[in-house]
Structures are given as C-alpha cells and as structure tokens.
Amino acid sequence: MGGSDRPARGSEALMVQSVAKAFRVLEAFDGGHSAMTLSQIAARTGLDLSAAQRFTHTLATLGYLRRDPATRQFGLGLKVIDLSYNYTRASALIDRAIPVLLHLSNETDETVNLTVLDGAEVVFISRYASRHVLNSDVIPGTRLPAYCTASGRAILSRLPPEELDEVLAASVFRPFTPATPGDAVQVRTLVQRAARDGYSLAYEEYFLSDASVGAPIIGRDGRVAGAVNIGASTTRYEHAAFEEKYGPKIIAAARAISWD
C-alpha cells in the first residue's frame, strides 16, 4: 500500500471500458452531489444520456444506486457499503491495527487514525474519534493531501526516492492554511526530518487548530504499509508538549502494528 493501486499505463489495453464507465457513474456521487437526475449524471460523467440511462438502470438493479420515486433523482445504494465492509474485513492491516488503535485511543483520550497512501493522497481507513475532536467530517474514506498531513509525511519518509519523487510531482500545493507547506522543497525537508525522528508532526497545515503526529507502519514485505496518527487540538497543547507526550507513543503504536 505504499504506492497507488491505480492500473499502470501498460495495462490500459486490458481495461474493460464499460466497467470503468460504471465506476465513473458511482464516483460522480459525493458530498456535494448526493442526489442527481439522469441528465446531471450524464453531465458529470461525460456520458451521453442513453449510456447514462443504461448504466444507472443496471447499477440500480444491482442495488448500487437507488432512485427516489418522488424526485426521480438517483443516489448511492446500500450495496456500496458492502464494498467498504468487505475491504475492512479483508484487510490484514486493519486487523492488526484495531487492538493497538483501541488501546491508543483509550490511553490518550485523543483521536486516533489509520491511513494508507493512494497516489498523492492519504485515505483514512479506520478512525477512533475522541470527545475533543474538532473535525467531525473526517470519516473512513476521507482523502487528504499526503504532503501536508502528519500521517502522509510519515509514509513518505519510508518510500524509495523515486516513489517520493512521483508523489511530490503529483501533489498540488495549495495554501489550505497559513502553515501549509508551499512547495516540494519544503516538504522534502519535513520528510527528511520525519525519517530522522521516526515520526512526523503537522500543526494546522490542513485544518486550523489541529495538531497531529504520525508514524509509519511497515508491512511484511518490508515496505511502508500505512501510518498511525494521533490528532489533538492546538488550543490544548503547546507544540513542544504535544511532541514530547505523543512522539514516543506513536512510535510504539506503529511498531506494534508493523510486521517487522
């Protein structure tokens, strides 16, 4: 899981385009587009109306879409949740991590997350939120840029140089907050620091008032498999106190989950 799971260019000849289009329809639904008409789906996916109708009918028949009989709008169906459930049940990483995440959550009374890298983003695959949580919209499945998150840079710190280059080349550097790293040079310095220390720190780089520390998890193949991180509020901790308290704990948690 250290790199993207997207198909390589050499495999494009093996792509079944109808399957790709079906997933394009499913991926058109997000937080800002939870319900759409057929014409809206066609517009967002680039499909013609006839193709959009065939794909939505098929997906609705299979249970991956549902249609409101009153508004005639489509939305995601409950079968989509089955895919997430099956991923969670089949993941050796999640299986190994859950006892450690629960212990870390109870011990710290802070938010604890498990993330993996996909392209230039980290994806949250498990999360235990604390009563102090500030960012309640972060749930399993949430994606954030790897370069400006503690968990992301923890993973980047254990990538081979060529893979780190690929992630940084694919990253879009944006000023989410005044503290967001501005370019690849700055990120490389932070990644090198994470490699030296064994953990990465991020203060208000994506969310205001957010402090985070993350450490890399090593898989059975010796490659980085993901990261575990602790998130807290900067209103409750000075930077030095946060690092001193949670730096050793996050390293211990990552080692407990790792296969090496």
- pLDDT at position 185: 97
Domain boundaries 91-257, corresponding CATH code: 3.30.450.40
Task: Say how far apart CA 127 and CA 34 lie, in whole Å.
Answer: 23
The secondary element (H helix, E strand) that includes residue 123 is: strand 121-128
Cβ-Cβ contacts under 8 Å for 218 (sequence gap 6 or more): 158, 224, 225, 258, 259, 260
Residues 215 and 101: beta-carbon distance below 8 Å: no
The alpha helices in 46-146, defined as continuous H runs, are 49-62, 79-90, 92-108
Domain boundaries 9-78, corresponding CATH code: 1.10.10.10
42-79: per-residue pLDDT in tens? 999 999 999 999 999 999 999 999 999 999 999 999 99
Residues 239 and 211: beta-carbon distance below 8 Å: yes
Burial of 135 (0-12, 13-18, 19+ CB in 10 A): middle
Task: Say how far apart CA 203 and CA 187 lie, in whole Å.
Answer: 14
Question: Using alpha carbons only, how large is the chain's radius of gyration in Å?
Answer: 20
Q: Where are the domains of the chain?
A: 9-78, 91-257
- Residue by residue, pLDDT tens for the chain (260 residues) are 444 445 545 567 888 999 999 999 999 998 889 999 999 999 999 999 999 999 999 999 999 999 999 999 999 999 999 999 999 999 999 999 999 999 999 999 999 999 999 999 999 999 998 887 766 678 899 999 999 999 999 999 999 999 999 999 999 999 999 999 999 999 999 999 999 999 999 999 999 999 999 999 999 999 999 999 999 999 999 999 999 999 999 999 999 999 97
Cβ-Cβ contacts under 8 Å for 223 (sequence gap 6 or more): 2, 158
99-134: per-residue pLDDT in tens? 999 999 999 999 999 999 999 999 999 999 888 776
Task: Say how far apart CA 16 and CA 198 lie, in whole Å.
Answer: 42
Task: Say how far apart CA 121 and CA 123 lie, in whole Å.
Answer: 6
Residues 78 and 198: beta-carbon distance below 8 Å: no
The SS3 assignment for 258 reads coil
The SS3 assignment for 142 reads coil
Terminal-residue alpha carbon distance, the chain: 16
